[in-house]
Amino acid sequence: MKILALIPAALMAASPAMAGRVDPGFSQSYITRGDAYAIRSCGDAYGIREDVCYNQVTSGVIDLRGIGIDFSRSRVVRVDCDRRHGGKTTRGAVAREFCPQVEAGTLAPAPFLF
């Protein structure tokens, strides 16, 4: 039974030695996230909770066996003002700047909420 307990530890110790480098010329995939735009306050359909919503374009190229597939999508991101967000993320930057405006009632609501 003690031998079975040592197997995961042995595998974890051996994994960095087994890991190899990946040739950077093989895969040319990348993803780019644009800046936040169309920032507005948005509520929840199930209550009076106030959040911040913004649009963001995500685009990039996925390289599958030498065939590059371009993609681009625009999405709406909702930021919960009651939670703490990371400091280096777009969501965190929007929360720090615009959540106080939502609480004060000075940030314009989304036009579809009228």
Q: What pLDDT shows up at residue 5? A: 52
Q: Which residues contact 32 (CB under 8 A, 6 or more apart)?
A: 58, 59, 60
Q: Are 69 and 62 in contact (CB under 8 A)?
A: yes
Q: Are 78 and 51 in contact (CB under 8 A)?
A: yes
Q: Is 99 exposed, middle or buried (0-12, 13-18, 19+ CB in 10 A)?
A: buried
Mean per-residue pLDDT for 85-108?
Answer: 86
Percent residues over pLDDT 70 in the chain:
68
Q: Convert the pLDDT of each residue in 28-58 to its tens digit.
A: 788 888 999 999 988 766 656 688 999 999 9
Distance CA 85, CA 91 (A): 7
Mean pLDDT of the chain: 75
State the pTM of this model: 0.64
Residue ranges per structural domain of the chain: 28-109
Residue 19 has pLDDT above 50, yes or no: no
